[in-house]
Amino acid sequence: MQADRPAYDLDIRTEESRIRTALAGAARTPFWLEDPGRPAPQPALIGGTDADLLIIGGGYCGLWSALQAKENDPGRDVVLVESNEIGWAASGRNGGFVEASLTHGPENGLRNFAVDLAVLEALAEENFTEFRTALDRHGIDAEFHEGGALDVATEHHQIADLRAAPGRFLDRDELAGLVRSPLYRAGAFRETGAALVHPAKLAWGLRAACLRLGVRVFEHTPVTRLADEGGAVRATTGMGTVRARQVVLATNGFPSLLRRNRMLTLPIYDYVLMTEPLTEAQIDDIGWHGGFGISDWSRQFHYYRKTADNRILWGGYDAVYHRGGGVRPEFDQRPETFARLADHFLRTFPQLGDVRFTHSWGGMIDMSTQLAAFQGVAMGGKVAYSSGFTGLGVAATRFAGTVMLDLLAGADTPRARLRMATRRPLRIPPEPLAYPAVQVIRRAIARADRSGRDGLLLRTASLFGFSFDS
């Protein structure tokens, strides 16, 4: 590789025929959701019902909220409604990376949450431990594996920053003892605070635990409206209503039922490839025998990990905002991104030159300008909400559920006093400004990744509280 040319850029360098062969026949569905253990959906809500607590959204955030609400008070009548099926969206199609961080890493934590950083770090460690403990307590087989995480430098200018990053620094030769790629220049290995799961099994396991504790779950039950009725909140669904004393709103990047929150997140699409199972000889060729996940040290970064049957999931880099901010099924497929991802994979691991991809899919991430989740209350404290996880929600959603339950209870806890629970992030400009603004920022990020220096635009935006990542 030429030293003055980036490891990854927009130019596809792998032969087009090789990319076509690698992607030929790839299923357009998320690999995780094809697992034979996928449960049948619960019936939809028809008619009216009352509840102590209504949870809207059947992803990780809603499920953790429901589970903890019943653990805290077994007599509490909790209803959870999901517009589609449990885990069908981000919770069933992400990479399965469990990160302890609640702030999207130490640098973003220092930039956006400096006043709370020490408390947040302690709470993050506690939440990560409780996440693992809850899986054991409820017998949830989510293929949880605490194998650490590896960050790799693919550019010379990244090496200095990686030396200062959390974890044990590895030069090129030491890194080759963990995994081999001609693009790698250095690495940093974190032994704690990182794990891997099967995303869909986690969602389905949380669903089963909720049902065992008595949570009433209704799938294919979209909520179209919330109305404050003084002593309660009425939720209008497709074929009925729920009247609840309190509500947890866990719809993340989908348009918020609270109009004032609709410009606090941006629906960004992320895309993923999954390889066929690798042979032992292929694993030997790249030397990746450990059970750790990997990401490269760029803003436009790739994340990748192995599965239980030795496939490699390869995702990231492109973070796509579709004009108008829509969330549509057709956006789950993007051939140009899949070709770029295949090209980058084959540059990273040329040893696997004849590998084929069996699945290609995408999904929506709820990005906030602070790159981390926020919580708050509405309707006189009867509705709590959380959103903006920006791709870091596998563990952080559990914490968000705890915060929302604290806020609904009016509890004066360290969690409820955090700035992320008392201050909303900066608003995102509406269309028609949002789309061109995102494209300008994406180009600025690409230039920064190539040069190792933030330009004037990114430095100025950071001063005003805007953070950016892919």
Length of the chain: 470
What 3-state DSSP class applies to 146? coil
Per-residue pLDDT, 467:
67
Per-residue pLDDT, 2:
45
Could you tell me the residue ranges of all domains in the chain?
Answer: 47-141+197-265+369-422, 434-463
Q: E strands, 144-291, where?
A: 149-153, 168-171, 186-190, 194-196, 216-218, 223-228, 233-237, 240-249, 266-275
Written as one letter, the residue type at 67 is L
* Domain 47-141+197-265+369-422 sits in CATH 3.50.50.60: yes
Helices 393-409 & 117-137 angle (0-180, nearest 10): 100
| DSSP character at residue 80 | E
Per-residue pLDDT, 294:
98
Cα of first residue to Cα of last residue in the chain, in angstroms, is 24
- Give the C-alpha separation, 304 to 343, whole Å: 14
Q: Which residues of the chain have pLDDT under 50?
A: 1-3, 470
Q: Tokens 């885990």 sit at which residue?
A: 87
What 3-state DSSP class applies to 285? helix
Backbone angles phi, psi at 455, to 5 degrees: -80, 180
Backbone angles phi, psi at 243, to 5 degrees: -110, 120
Q: Which residues contact 303 (CB under 8 A, 6 or more apart)?
A: 95, 97, 293, 294, 295, 315, 316
Q: E strands, 250-283, where?
A: 266-275
| DSSP character at residue 297 | S
Per-residue pLDDT, 3:
47
Residue 293: CB atoms within 10 A of its CB come to 24
CA nearest 180: which of 352, 18, 342? 352
pTM: 0.96
| DSSP character at residue 27 | B
What 3-state DSSP class applies to 237? strand
Strand partners, 295: 151, 303
Per-residue pLDDT, 464:
59
Per-residue pLDDT, 461:
74
Hey, what are 54's tokens? 């209504």
CA nearest 146: which of 257, 38, 305, 298? 305
Contact 84, 61 (CB under 8 A): no
Output the CA torsion 228→234→235→238 (10° steps): -130
